[in-house]
Chains A and B, each alone.
Chain A
Amino acid sequence: MDNGERQSLRVQYGETPGGLAGPAKALLYATLILVSVFTLIPLVWLACAAFKGPGDMWSFTFLPYGEVQNPDGTMRPARATVINFIALFRDFGFGRNLLNSFFLTATGTSISLILASLGGFALAKYQFKGKKILMAIMLATMMIPGSVLLAPLYELICHMHMMNSYAGILVPGAVGAFGMLLFRQAMLGIPDDLIEAARIDGCSEIGIYWRIIMPVVRPMSGAFCLMSFMGGWNSFLWPMIVLQSKGLFTVPIALSQTIGLTGDMQYGLLMAGTFLGVLPPAILFFILQKEFIAGLTAGAVKG
């Protein structure tokens, strides 16, 4: 059928050349905008709360403005303030918590990336003894919820003297069957001729991995990095078990301790800390949005 017939069919079914009928369109946008507002308001509130000083936290829904009465009767201007951030960094050592989070998450991600892509490459493009068994075991372990491992891992880490150290987080964290299978999926589609050609040119296997395979799976690497970073940044239970001294705490653990405080500064500090804790993954996601979604859905849709 030609364009003209299609057009008339569309009109027949309530579609104007520009799309749906006017009111339906408006309703659609209205719904989406309403949902967006609901989605964003708590986060907007968070951003505002991070900048509200003690006393203003509950008196203003979002940002403070105008004047407020002091307990002794005098007036003071109510403004956004960075006092929470100053207290966070100066009195609570939050800078160190941020640094710990960044270090553990970024290092963990980098290591996982290498291990998962290496392993995925082996699984995708090689035949070797035990491959089938390995994949079966990996799939089986993925079905087991992580909480089963908490107790024995804790005992193992205690005996290996890795308690209260970065190693206690990084080493067990490098294991990821999920990542390896993801990369395998992505690498299956790489034409074997490409690899053969490289071999004929005298390239070593590791060279093939580094110079040929990795650039090809960049979208998957981007998606994997984001997932791994987000997972590591937000990880709470295991770090809480392993990390014991204040100087090693990550951001989530530091925040959970601020909850126990009382007093006027508590909420401001908590919100400022949460705000800072939310930014890094948000920024990373913003940059890598397309890769992430492509990587996420590639497995699911074809799955």
Chain B
Amino acid sequence: MDYPPGKAPLAILIVAIVSGFLLLIYPAKKSAGNLQVWTFADSHFKAYQKVVPQFEKTHPGVKVDLQFVEGRAVTSRLRAAFASDLPVPDMLETEISSAGTFFLGPLEDVGFRDLTEELHKPRPDGPPWIERVVRSRFAPYTSRRIVNGKAEDHIFGLPHDVHPVLLGYRRDVFEKHGIDAEKLTTWDAFLTEGRKLLAKLNVDKSGDGKPEMNHYLIGLSDTDCGDLEVLLFQRDGQYFDAEGRVRMDDEIAVKTMLWYVPLVAGPERVGYPVGWNWELTDKAVQSDLILSYVMPDWLTGFFEQHVPSGHGKLALMPLPAFEPGGRRTSTRGGTMLGFTKKSKQFATCWELGLLMYFDIESRAEQFKELNILSPLKGSWDHPLLKAPKPYWSNQPLGQLFASQADNTPPQYTSPYIQLAKAKLGEALCDCVARYNAKGARGFEAYVRKRLKQSADELRLQMTMNPYQ
């Protein structure tokens, strides 16, 4: 057959027909369930797969369709779905740094169901859920509205976690050099002892004027605000206050930035960025490059899986405090479970959510896999949490994190939380560059100015709001 446009167009036409035909006879697997749940974390997905059969047994007629959807896709799909008539899942997990972006606009426009009432409902077997869960963990999923001069909190998600932060340090190296980690209760003490240790390690053995290898005391990033924000939260700094006003240029933020930058830049630096490349991190542990790490509970799981060189060498201690008696933990990351307004089976979803998040046995199982602590205060006595973990020098990991869980600071949110984090990262980069170039001269004034600049840019962006 002679196809007038030519051979190649014919071939392409055939490809189109064949592929179209194949797509027709192998349609995408239609979700067989009638209750759709999205999760973006692979580990959560595997954990919930174990919970689903149990739930379906006790709820005949319900078929749960658990889907793994990549993080960014969750946000974009949800936004598109809320705006047009695309189907939304019944319930979904969303990450702490994007949850707030859905709270923009009047309450009727928020796609998530308001859970405040449900959480305050008295329960037959004890106090309402709101009192059983670490209170600060609701902050990132709460939108506070001022109505007639009164502040009303609207909670849109169940917190999955607490994510207390401890310091994971090289117990073997510390012990070898006679450092007692128990005594290092403040950052000042930690840094002083740490610098002495580094002076011992960073010696020039070959006589060429430079040490063989530079060791660093702590893994801290100089471009990304992730570690900075952990320390900011520790001393009660915030991006936003509870009403959603920008706070990232207040005195606490300035003090934290002033304290942080010389740790990661300049001649006296003791910090080295860790990053997400596990090969690199493993090699870093092997070569003793970094002697301590800022460890939220979920990171310990990653280390156990991907950093085999650290087995038995690392141990956990509470974060050194900023002042004696001060807070010895912080928080990093988080996930919430949201229920969409469009869903017609809220009651069933609620029960599934409770099973996934607040059931003590199922959370203990999840802890075994992921090292993630449940925000349920009553769940921390579970024997599984007391088990010694050989990777962490046989410490009872669960207990250690649980002991700090109640102290975790809140993370207040805003629809502009992502923008705020980006702005802090930019400020950090610029402050690092300035410190590297000009040192401490006039540095405080610069930090103050630069943070205010970031905060003002953020405030400016916040005015671009159709609801003003």
Interface residues, chain A, CB within 8 Å of chain B? 58, 71, 96, 99-100, 102-103, 106-107, 109-110, 113, 117, 158-159, 161, 163-164, 210-211, 214-215, 218, 221-222, 225-226, 229, 240-241, 244-248, 257, 260-264, 284, 287-288, 291
Contacts and interface: CB of A to CB of B under 8 A. Distances in A.
Contact of B12 (A109, A210, A214, A264): A109
Nearest to B42: A261
Contacts of A158: 80, 83-84
9 shortest A-B CB distances, which residue pairs?
A247-B28, A106-B16, A214-B4, A103-B19, A158-B84, A218-B6, A106-B15, A107-B16, A257-B70
B5 A287 contact: no
Given A163-B80, A163-B84, A244-B86, A96 B9 contact: no
Contact of A113 (B5, B28, B76): B5
16 contacts: A99-B23, A102-B15, A109-B16, A113-B5, A158-B80, A161-B84, A163-B86, A214-B5, A225-B8, A245-B77, A246-B67, A247-B28, A260-B70, A261-B42, A262-B306, A284-B8
A103 B71 contact: no
A264 B307 CA distance: 11
Contacts, number: 103
B302 interface: yes
A129 B149 CA distance: 66
Interface of B: 4-9, 12-13, 15-16, 19-20, 22-23, 26-29, 42, 67, 69-73, 76-77, 80-81, 83-86, 276, 278-279, 302, 305-306, 308
B72 A113 contact: no
A30 to B, nearest CB: 36
Among A102, A158, A161, A229, find the residue whose CB has the most chain B CB atoms closer than 10 A. Answer: A102
B25 to A, nearest CB: 11
Contacts of A102: 15-16, 19
A244 B73 contact: yes
Contacts of B29: 247
Given A161-B84, A161-B85, A221 B5 contact: yes
A241 to B, nearest CB: 8
B4 A262 contact: no
A140 to B, nearest CB: 29
B402 to A, nearest CB: 26
Contacts of B278: 262-264
Nearest to B71: A260
Given A163-B84, A164-B86, A221-B5, A110 B23 contact: no
A214 B3 CA distance: 9
Given A163-B80, A244-B86, A96 B28 contact: yes
A222 B5 CA distance: 8
Q: Is the interface of A mostly helix, strand, loop or mixed?
A: helix
A103 B23 contact: yes
Contacts of B77: 244-245
Nearest to A58: B279
Contact of B23 (A100, A260, A291): A100
A77 B72 CA distance: 39
B309 to A, nearest CB: 9
Nearest to A109: B12
A103 B8 contact: no
Contacts of A288: 8
Contacts of B85: 161
B394 to A, nearest CB: 20
A225 B3 CA distance: 14
Contacts of B302: 262
A294 to B, nearest CB: 13
A287 B6 CA distance: 13
Given A244-B73, A245-B28, A110 B8 contact: no
Contacts of A248: 28
Contacts of B76: 240-241, 244
Contacts of B5: 113, 117, 214-215, 218, 221
A58 B277 CA distance: 12
Contacts of A210: 4
A218 B3 CA distance: 10
B28 A106 contact: no
Contacts of B70: 257, 260
Nearest to A111: B16
A57 to B, nearest CB: 8
A100 B305 CA distance: 35
Given A99-B19, A260-B72, A211 B4 contact: yes
A168 to B, nearest CB: 11
Contacts of A244: 73, 76-77, 80-81, 86
B98 to A, nearest CB: 13
A58 B77 CA distance: 35
B6 A221 contact: yes
B9 A225 contact: yes
Contact of B276 (A103, A113, A215, A262): A262
A107 B20 contact: yes
Given A110-B12, A214-B4, A226-B8, A103 B72 contact: no
Nearest to A103: B19
B16 A103 contact: yes
A288 B26 CA distance: 31
Given A109-B12, A221-B6, A284-B8, A103 B73 contact: no
Contacts of A240: 76
A109 B76 CA distance: 28
Contacts of A221: 5-6, 8-9
A284 B7 CA distance: 12
Contacts of A107: 16, 20
Nearest to A100: B23
Nearest to A158: B84
B49 to A, nearest CB: 14
A158 B80 CA distance: 8
Contacts of A225: 6, 8-9, 12
B283 to A, nearest CB: 10
Among A58, A218, A288, find the residue whose CB has the most chain B CB atoms closer than 10 A. Answer: A218
Contacts of A58: 279
Contacts of A99: 19, 22-23
B304 to A, nearest CB: 13
Nearest to B308: A71
A246 B306 CA distance: 28
A245 B85 CA distance: 14
A4 to B, nearest CB: 46
A261 B42 CA distance: 8
